[in-house]
Amino acid sequence: MEWRASHILVKDRSLAEDLLRRVKQGAQFESLAREFSACPSKSQGGDLGWFGPGKMAAPFESAVKGLSPGSVGSVVQTQFGYHIIKCTGRKE
């Protein structure tokens, strides 16, 4: 199994929750990633590309597994900070 995901990574939980609320209200995920994300993927609108099992932090991977393509999950904490994750693809 492989997944493709985009994310917005921030250090502050309240900012992450605010950004998630904005995404759910229709704000463009990619624009928010470019503006707020602390990850180098921000220049690609948060796109992390395709990855398989064991390539991402466990809480991140677990969250992606539970999402269907096109959906955005709740805020996930890893050792890097707080992520808002959008699943953009899945293949067997």
How confident is the model at residue 31, as a pLDDT?
98
Contact 73, 67 (CB under 8 A): yes
Distance between CA 63 and CA 40 in Å, rounded?
21
Contact 8, 31 (CB under 8 A): no
Q: pLDDT band at 92, cuts 50/70/90?
A: confident
How confident is the model at residue 82, as a pLDDT?
98
23-to-37, 56, 79, 81, 85 alpha-carbon distances in Å: 14, 23, 23, 18, 11
C-alpha dihedral (80, 41, 84, 28), degrees to nearest 10? 160
Query: If you average pLDDT over residues 2-25, what whole number do you get?
Result: 98
75: domain range? Answer: 2-91
Domain count, the chain: 1
pLDDT in tens, 19-69: 999 999 999 999 999 999 999 999 999 999 999 999 999 999 999 999 999
